[in-house]
Structures are given as structure tokens and as C-alpha cells.
Structure 1
Amino acid sequence: MPKGKKSLAPNPAEPPLVITKTDREAWDDEADAVVVGFGGAGACAALEASANGARVLVLDRFHGGGATAISGGVFYAGGGTHIQSEAGATDDADEMFRYLSLEVKGVVAEETLRDFCDTSVDNLTWLEEHGVPFEASLCPYKTSYPTDDYYLYYSGNEGFSPYKEAAKPAPRGHRAKGAGLPGESFYEPLRASAHRAGIEVEYEARVTRLVIDSRNRVLGVEYRQIKKGFWSSLYRRLNQAGVAIVKYNPKVAAKLRKHCFQIEADHSVLKRVRAINGVVLAAGGFIYNRDMVKEIAPKYRSGMPLGTASDNGSGILLGQSVGGKTDLMDRISAWRFINPPEAFAKGMIINQNGERYINEFMYGAAVGEAMVEHNDGVAILIINGELKKLAREQCKPGKAQWFQRAPALLNLWFNSKEAKTVDELAKVAKVPLETLRKTLDEYNDAADGKMADRFNKGSDRMHAMRNGPYFAINAGIKSKRFPCPTLTLGGLVVDERTGQVKSEDGGVIPGLYAAGRNAVGVCSRQYVSGLSIADCVYSGRRAGGAAARGEMYAAKDAPTPVQSSPIEAKSLEGIPAIHQAQVADPSPEAHQGTSRRPRRDGPYPRQSLNRTIRRPGGATRVSSSQRGRLPKRAP
């Protein structure tokens, strides 16, 4: 940001509001369960909570959907789904478990991963019952994403070593039926089902902070909502336009977001809602909080953010504001997909030393991890004239999705440096000549079947490049012409039985749950297509059901209640400082009149509130008194 210019973006999360005794006048509304975020995880949490008999209120900063609605709509499922069976593919939960064990690498307990696999068939059926469409058309070739002719495919590394030796490969990428990137085909049926179930959803409602008691139990949330009518409609349209254009013109999208921030600041009202049983955080990752990415995972800062403006870390920061523990925050998935066209994958990727470092047919996230974590973000794709001609042929309409063909052709035209000889290739690629010559000779020998490839790439997937011309394409994470999509994988640590957020002191935070990319889950170590959405469904249903039932934790896990002073909000290490908010309500008119939802006595007695106390750490405590009630919050 230019010096002297103040960001219009609001703080993702404010310090918590501490209330020692509850009073109905402190709240504008109440529900059994409050869900923060209405993307894939939030929708699943809300539906499951409602199915368990809870009155549910969902709050979403924009108009729902989140990253799920703009995704490829792929749900990673196995264990013998009816889609797999109809397509002639065999699979079982044990094979799925063995494969994912290699990808997950212990990021969740073995029992949790086993349950994830054992319930996979049921979760697919559950999605179909809510209207999500799938189809049993199996893609016959390996690709990062199939054409609209196919809706079941091998979406991970199942067919490569060492995975194929550990588990029988099976196609588990269940793509929602729809053209192009059918994220909406996956999400919109869930939204419609939530509305049919009577779940109340408030859009254009940004949660600003949590409300807790003196023992750090989460009582509810405070949020700002755009005034309904002209401003909420304009806000929605500006945001939708920004989401649609961000991949093609990030600067224009950023300007549209600024207009949204200004509307939030000038035309919103402050409200509080009480959560009788619990709050579920499902507000997405933090890839769009660029300061946060720079601070926590600077190696990935130059990557292209994949998601929406909702992915600003607000849910994670809300959890941290009350002592929630985080993990794997530096785990970011970088997607260096080069196939299709397959001709690119038949070439070779080298680092700045002129050495290969991976099987080029591996899943894009695996290539991206090797590129960023072990090769300084460098990936130089080497092909020759024969492969370039083949790549152009494979980029014709109907042979790949438009969003795969377009960047491939642009890189062939504008991002490839030509060299007639290996000596010239070393110069244009800026790598050591002798190392490059050795790498190319070994690759050619493996392609001709004279030796085994050191990265287990089959000779049928290689192309000998003994003659020029050669072409070097910059595919590194800093490439401006070959953007590398990135998304965050870490989040709040949760009890894997209930989704309840764990605290830094080893206990749990009563009344607070997390799901999706707000929580550490099955995909937090490594990403394969469909695994994040599958985790959103699994963790969303887990957290929503537990919150509806009021499940907290096993007795042996219960922390000893702190009888001293209320929790003090602290600056979050590695994260930009959070400003202290005012308790006074700048929009008192929003609190006049009665709530739409009838009040009823809950587990907390009615008490009068009359004064606020500023705490040194940034938290705000509202204490009880017999001498009067909390006055109207001043504008």
C-alpha cells in the first residue's frame, strides 16, 4: 500500500467483549447455534445443526458461497460410492485410508482419518439428498481437471509411486454436474436446502468479535450488517463483480473491494446475537489477508490468492482472540498445474541449478510444494519444438477446459524463450550449462528406455528432446505470465470428536467450534482436488451437530475454570495488531423495537448491566450492577 494512504479494510477481528452476567437487553437476537460464514462448511454445519433440532442463525459477510461457490465443485469421496460402482470402478474404505494416510501424514489422528473414509459414502449420499448432482462418467486419462464430458476422475496422486504401491488406485474426484467450474452446482443446492429447512441467514453481516463470559465461555457474537435496501444491494453487486473479475484484473477487483469497505463503514449497524449452545466458525482461510500471508508464510506471498475477499482470516483471528490454538498456519498449497496440455508434462521442470526435482505428471499441489519448499519457488519448464507443436494441438477447443487452454497458449506465445541449442538454452534459462546438459542427457536416456527415471516417471510419459529448438517457460511462483494459485490450509486446532476449538493452555473453549478452512483438518498437510470440500462437509457436519447438541468435551478434558479476572485479549503473534473497538453502539436505532425471534429463558439469569470497564489487554468487560440497566449505546 502506498505510504500515507490508510487502508479502508476493516480489522478481521476485534478483541472479545466480556460479559460477566447476561441480560436480554445486551442482545438483539438469539439462536441455539450461530454459524459464522455461509460457504461450503458453514452450509453443512447449519444443515446438520438444524437436523439436530437447533434453531440456527447464519451470518455471512457477503452473500454466501465463499470459495466453494467459485471452485471446481469437486468432492473427494471413496469407499465404494454408487458413482464409482456405476462407472465400473472398485474401491473400499481401507484402500482410501491407505492412500490418504500418505497424503495426510498424521495431521489428524488415525481414528479421525478412518472415520473420514468410513463415512465418505454416507456424506456423498447426504449431499445428493440435499440436491447436489453427480454423474458416473469416468475420465479415461490423467488430468488436473476433466472436460465437461467427465465427472469422475483420478484427482490426486493415486496412480504414482509410492502411492500406487501402498493402495490400489481408484478415481475419487466426484465433480458436481455442471459446465466449466461448477462450484455453484455444488453450493447452491445446499443454500436452497438451508432456506427450505427454515434456517435464518443474514447476508451482508460481518462478525466483528466474540462475546464471552468471565470464564471464557463463548456466549455469542457481535456483527455489523449493511442496511437493507439500496446499500446492501449495491454492496452485493460490487462484491460479485470483484469476485468475477479478480483473476483477470486484480487492480479493478481491489478498487471494487474498497468501495465495499466504504459501504461497510458508512452504512452498517451494530448488532449482537446470543448463541445458547455454541458458535461455529466457518469463515474460510486467510489467503486474501496479504499482510498475514507475508508475515506467516512469506515464500507464498507472490502467489495468486485463490478464494474470495471473505478469506481474510477473520474466523481464525476470532478464535485466537479468545485464546484459541492454531497450527500449520504456514502450510499453503501452491498449485503448479502444467497438465493439460499433456505435452507440457512430457517435458521437464528444472530449478535454478538446472536440475529436475519431481515427476512432472504429479498432482499440481505436489509440484508446487516441491517448487516452493525445496527449490526457492523456481520452476523452469523445458520443452522442444515437437512438444510445442503437440501442446498447441492439445489446446484446441474441446480438448481441455477454456481456463486450462488459455494460460497454456498465452505461455506458449508470450512466456517461452527460444533456444536453438543446449548452450543457448542454458543462457536463456540462466542455469549452469554442464548441469543442464547432464540433466537433459539423463532425461533423454530415460525417455528412450535406456535407464529408469529417478523420479519414477514412465518412459511412455516422457519425450526425448535431443534436438532443438528448445523453449524455456518460467513457471515459478513469481511468474507474472504463469500465475500460481495459492490457498491456506492451517487454522484453529479442534477436538476431532466435536470440532470444538482447543485453547493454548491445552483445554478447550466452551461454546466455540470451527470447521472448514477455519480449522486444522484432513487436508491441512497436503491438498488434492476435492479434499478441501470433502473436509468442509465432514468437519461442518461434525461441528454443526455438536453445537446443536451442546456437546463440549469429555469430562477428563475439561479445563479448570479460572476464578480470577476475565480473559485479556492479547496481540496475536505473527499477525498484524488488532485495534481496540468501541463498545458504544454507533447505530442505536438498530436496537429499538423487539427481535423477530421470540425470547425465552436460557441457561444464564437476567441481570442488569450498567457500565463498561476497559481492560489493559484490549478486551472489554461489561459488569453487572443492581443500580441500573445498560443505557442506550451512544452513537
Structure 2
Amino acid sequence: MVYDPKIVSSRRDMLKKSAALVAGSAALVATGPALASEQCASKQPKFDEIYDLIIVGSGFAGMSCANQAAQDGAKVLVIDKMPVFGGNSTINGGAMAVAGSALQKKAGVEDSVELMVSDMLKAGRGMNDKHMLKLVCDGTAESAKWLEDHGVVWKPFVQHFGGHSVPRTLQTRESSGSGIVRPLIETAKKHGVKMYDKTEMRGFVEDDNGRIIGIKVQSGYFWPKTKTGTPKVFGARKGVVMATGGFGRDIPFRQIQQPKLTDELDSTNQPGANADALKQMMLIGANPVHLDQIQLGPWSSPDEKGFGTASQFNTIAVYPKGIVVDVRTGERFFNELADRKTRSNAILTRRDDQNKPVYPVGFTNAEGAKRAQTLGWGLKYDVIKKADTLDELAKLYGMPADKLEKQVARFNEFVKKGHDDEFNRPLETAIEMKEGPWYAVRMWPKVHYCMGGVRVNTNSQVLRLTDDKPIPGLFAAGEATGGIHGASRLGSCAVAEGVVTGRNAAKNAVTQTAAKLELA
């Protein structure tokens, strides 16, 4: 089907009426501001401000895009609806999967782009967009070095995250995504990138040929007060990049995709992580893919809100160095280094006769926990508990002490001989846990990441639902896109995706012919 700008209004009406069929988005009638993108009249609109590139969102993808575009000579604006920059990226664990890093080579780890692609395909159950997947994996080593050049500092060792065949994860010195976002914001500002917080995007501006030439915003917006702020229109000569993240906190919308993900399940996301920007893209014809593929984080704890302290503790200590057991038996019940979907599904099976959660317990000893930077905070807030002996640990959580001790002994034997006879877990980073003190935490998954979003090509152009051709002037990067991770994202691949696709969007957007725009 060939795109005809004369029928854009009727097509938009059709999309509004059929959005529920397209992506289950009956949430178009739900909360928030009116989400209608308006077609400009034939007369060329005038803008309050004009830039080469406008980036919506200030996380990994947005700030990587901004820095790359500025580096390539573009005049750039970044907007974010929240009062602080960074979004979910700032509270992310700051871990990036990299195939072929210097730290891998130093540690003697043999890796390749092909192996990383294979691991992500396996975790994604083969649903991945292979072209985009290859683009991301192929760009990780160069992008990790690029981040270093922009002030990011990695810990001096490589980590083994669940679902990866080999240790390939680098993590910021801060154990937080802020260790990436903050340096990128600093360098972006030094290169003249304009950044507006409390600025919510309310719609796209299109020219007579259907090209995106700007956005409508509410400036001075105080989330979530929808009636606050002042309307403005910003022009984009070369394009708009949507780096708006996922919709993990948008409970009505996520329930349309996955009815079981009710408000009973907490989320690791920041409060503003909703589907508003995704709906805006759908309203101008963007193709939504994999919206029902929503990931739960298997390292979360029910004893704290949001991302918390347990997530980092479990990721760096329990899963690679310890074990997770059912409190009723004191025994393991899954591979602690499986992909996130497998681990979350296993944990969610731990329920009593009334279908209420029976929270499993993950633990390791002092040797296993020595690199866990959130251990002190977890102990302070009683999320992580300390026990001097296994018998004391069993009493803390009501576990059978004899079975717990036998389980630890069995696991130590597996580590000693180098093979897990129970669940075939990789043991390269495991340790023999021979003595205490022990550190433990209760576990229960939380909504963490949206694998679905809008479909893009390898130029990061957003593709139209009706003909799979690019919507002129519209690009997307990071979690706002769909298809790269398939059914399940491997841990530490979000940073990889965000940085690589953000830079890719910038490189392609700045080459576009500049639209002729006028200031008001």
C-alpha cells in the first residue's frame, strides 16, 4: 500500500477506532491528557523554537542520541516530562552486556558477537528481530569504549549475568545507570545540547507530505497534573527521535496486554513510565510489535518498593555466587543463572493452597556478598538479613534446617566438580559456601521491562503499520522500540540496546534533508 497524505485524517480516525484490535490499546480512553496528534493545515506552521533534531526522553537512548548528534554537528533539543532527567535509566543497575570487551580479554573470556546474538535469540524464544539484534550486538564493544570517552567508569571486572553463555557484563562504578546518564548529560550540555525538563510531548506536527517536522508540548508541566503548563510548538528540521522508554507503570495499558499484571504486582520503573508516547506514535500509524511481552525482574524483593536494594544484591551476589530455595523445603527449584523469564516463572509458582505467594529466599555468604554495594543499605532497612549459621538462617525464614544444610553441601560438591547435577547451572562464577556469616533476602518478581514497542528498521526509522515503510522524520531508540529482545530480554542488554540504537538513530537522522521551518 502506498502512503497518501490526503487520506491521513481518515486513516487516523480509523486507527483511533481500531487501536484496541491493533495492540489491545483500549487504554486510549483511559487516564491522562487528550492524546490526539493533529495534522497541520496546508499553511506552513510557525514554531516557538527550531532545532535540527528533537529527542523525547533523556535515558540511555536519548542521551546517547543527543551526544552523537551533537558530535555530528546537529543543533539538538532533549525534552523530558519529569522534573529530573534520566527516567528509568538513572535507577537502572548500570550493567551493559558487551561482546569483546577489554575486561573480557584481560580475564581470558572468549566471546563473540555471534555468541551474544545466539544467547539473546535463545532467551527471546526466537521472536527477536534478527537484523536489529545483530546491529545492537555488533555495536556493543565500540559503544562501551565511546561511553568511557564520555566519562563512564566501569568496575575493574566482568560479570556473568543469567542467560549469558559467558561473563560479558560491565557495570558502572556506581552500580547504577546514573553512572552513565550523568556523564552523558554533562558532555551533552558542554556541546550545546539544549535540555528541557517538565516538558511533556502532546502530539506530532506533520507537513503536507506526512513528514514529522516537530512536536507539540506542554512546557512547565508538573507531572501528573495534566492541566499544568503552557502549550508550545517545537520544530525539527531533520527529525524527531522517540527515546521514551516503556510502559511498566501504566497499569491499565499493561493489563490490556497481560491481564495477569495487575496492580498487585509492583514495578521497578519510575512513576512516569506510561504508554502516552507509544499511543502518540500509534495514532500517526506506527506499527506496534510484541506489546504483550512484558518482563518481570526475578531479583526483586516484596519487602521494599521499586527497584530497591535487593535487586543489585541478588544480581551481583545471590545469583552468581549463592542459591535460591523454597522456604518450605530448604531446597533449590530452578537454575539461578537462567534467563529472566525462566527465573521469574519459576519463582511465581511458589504459592500456597490459597494461591498466595510463598516467598523464596536467596542467600550467599560473606565471600559471595563482598562486591554487593547495596548490602549495607539492605541490612539497614531489614530487606537483607544476616545470620551467623545456617541453623540461624533457617530459623529466620522458617525453613527446615537439616534440608537446608544438605542442600548447601550438595551445591558445594557441584561447584567443586564443576557441574550442577540438579539444574545444569553454569558454575564459572560460583563459590563453595563453606562458612558464614550468611546474607539472605526474600524474592518476588516485579514488572521491569517492556520488550514491545514500535517497529523500526536498521536506520532506527519508525515503520508504518499499513505498508511497513518509514514514517518520514520519525525515529525511535531504546525501550520505545519493539522486537529486539523477543519474548525475554537478557540482563544488561537494555543499556547495550539503548546506547547503540540511540547513537544509530542520531547518525541516520542527521543525514536527512533539512525541512525549511519558520519561527513564530
Give me the whole-angstrom Cα distance separating, in 1, the residues matched to 2:460 and 2:337.
38
Question: Kindly tell me: are residues 410 and 201 of structure 1, through their superposed partners in 2, closer, same or farther at Cα, counting changes over 3 Å?
Answer: same
Q: Which aligned pairs between 1:586-601 and structure 2 lie closer than 5 A?
A: none
Alpha carbon RMSD of aligned pairs, Å? 4.3
Match of 1:73 among 60, 70, 94: 94
Give me the whole-angstrom Cα distance separating, in 2, the residues matched to 1:418 and 1:96.
38
8 A Cα contact 1:277 1:547, kept in partner = yes
1:328 CA displacement: 1.2
Q: Which amino acid is 2:42 matched to?
A: K
Q: Which amino acid is 2:172 matched to?
A: A
Superposition TM-score, scaled by structure 1 size:
0.61
1:391 CA displacement: 5.2
Give me the whole-angstrom Cα distance separating, in 1, the residues matched to 2:76 and 2:427.
56
Question: Kindly tell me: are residues 528 and 276 of structure 1, through their superposed partners in 2, closer, same or farther at Cα, counting changes over 3 Å?
Answer: same
Give me the whole-angstrom Cα distance separating, in 2, the residues matched to 1:420 and 1:315.
51
Q: Over alpha carbons, which structure has the higher Rg?
A: 1
Q: Which aligned pairs between 1:33-72 and structure 2 lie closer than 5 A?
A: 33-62=53-82, 63-72=84-93
What is the match of residue 172 of structure 2? Answer: 176
Question: Kindly tell me: are residues 370 and 329 of structure 1, through their superposed partners in 2, closer, same or farther at Cα, counting changes over 3 Å?
Answer: farther
What is the match of residue 306 of structure 2? Answer: none
1:447 CA displacement: 8.7
1:379 CA displacement: 6.8
Question: Structure 1 residue 201 and structure 2 residue 221: aligned?
Answer: no
What is the match of residue 144 of structure 1? Answer: none
1:281 CA displacement: 0.7
> Deviation per CA, 1:393-427, whole angstroms, max 9, x where unpaired?
679887663266553429979983456899xx9xx
Question: Kindly tell me: are residues 392 and 106 of structure 1, through their superposed partners in 2, closer, same or farther at Cα, counting changes over 3 Å?
Answer: closer
What is the match of residue 42 of structure 2? Answer: 21
1:374 CA displacement: 11
1:473 CA displacement: 9.4
Q: Which amino acid is 1:128 matched to?
A: E
> Deviation per CA, 1:148-177, whole angstroms, max 9, x where unpaired?
xxxx2112323xxxx5xxxxx2x2111112
Give me the whole-angstrom Cα distance separating, in 1, the residues matched to 2:51 and 2:372.
50
What SS is found at the alignment partner of 2:270? coil
1:345 CA displacement: 5.2
Give me the whole-angstrom Cα distance separating, in 2, the residues matched to 1:374 and 1:381.
7
What SS is found at the alignment partner of 1:19? coil
State which drifts further: 337-346 or 27-36.
337-346
What is the match of residue 119 of structure 2? Answer: 99
| Unaligned 5+ runs, structure 1 | 1-8, 139-151, 164-168, 228-234, 236-259, 426-439, 464-471, 478-483, 552-600, 607-631
Question: Structure 1 residue 407 and structure 2 residue 383: aligned?
Answer: yes
What is the match of residue 423 of structure 2? Answer: 455
Give me the whole-angstrom Cα distance separating, in 2, the residues matched to 1:15 and 1:193.
35
8 A Cα contact 1:13 1:209, kept in partner = no
8 A Cα contact 1:283 1:314, kept in partner = no
Question: Structure 1 residue 537 and structure 2 residue 518: aligned?
Answer: no
What SS is found at the alignment partner of 1:544? helix
Q: Which aligned pairs between 1:585-624 and structure 2 lie closer than 5 A?
A: 602-603=515-516
1:132 CA displacement: 1.4
8 A Cα contact 2:38 2:205, kept in partner = yes
What is the match of residue 343 of structure 2? Answer: 367
Give me the whole-angstrom Cα distance separating, in 1, the residues matched to 2:441 and 2:64.
42
What is the match of residue 217 of structure 2? Answer: 223
Give me the whole-angstrom Cα distance separating, in 2, the residues matched to 1:214 and 1:97.
41
Question: Kindly tell me: are residues 362 and 605 of structure 1, through their superposed partners in 2, closer, same or farther at Cα, counting changes over 3 Å?
Answer: closer
Give me the whole-angstrom Cα distance separating, in 2, the residues matched to 1:494 and 1:524.
14
8 A Cα contact 1:347 1:381, kept in partner = no
Q: Which amino acid is 1:499 matched to?
A: Q
What is the match of residue 358 of structure 1? Answer: 334
Give me the whole-angstrom Cα distance separating, in 2, the residues matched to 1:298 and 1:310.
21
Q: Which amino acid is 2:213 matched to?
A: L
What SS is found at the alignment partner of 2:506? helix
Give me the whole-angstrom Cα distance separating, in 2, the residues matched to 1:535 and 1:298.
27
What SS is found at the alignment partner of 1:35? strand
Question: Kindly tell me: are residues 371 and 182 of structure 1, through their superposed partners in 2, closer, same or farther at Cα, counting changes over 3 Å?
Answer: closer
Question: Kindly tell me: are residues 213 and 10 of structure 1, through their superposed partners in 2, closer, same or farther at Cα, counting changes over 3 Å?
Answer: farther
> Deviation per CA, 1:128-153, whole angstroms, max 9, x where unpaired?
22221224x22xxxxxxxxxxxxx21
Give me the whole-angstrom Cα distance separating, in 1, the residues matched to 2:372 and 2:56.
41
What is the match of residue 560 of structure 1? Answer: none
Question: Kindly tell me: are residues 363 and 394 of structure 1, through their superposed partners in 2, closer, same or farther at Cα, counting changes over 3 Å?
Answer: farther
8 A Cα contact 2:160 2:320, kept in partner = no
Give me the whole-angstrom Cα distance separating, in 2, the residues matched to 1:351 and 1:54.
60
8 A Cα contact 1:521 1:539, kept in partner = no
| Unaligned 5+ runs, structure 2 | 1-29, 300-313, 388-392, 433-439
> Deviation per CA, 1:555-596, whole angstroms, max 9, x where unpaired?
xxxxxxxxxxxxxxxxxxxxxxxxxxxxxxxxxxxxxxxxxx
Question: Structure 1 residue 291 and structure 2 residue 252: aligned?
Answer: yes
8 A Cα contact 2:202 2:218, kept in partner = yes
Give me the whole-angstrom Cα distance separating, in 1, the residues matched to 2:478 and 2:268.
15
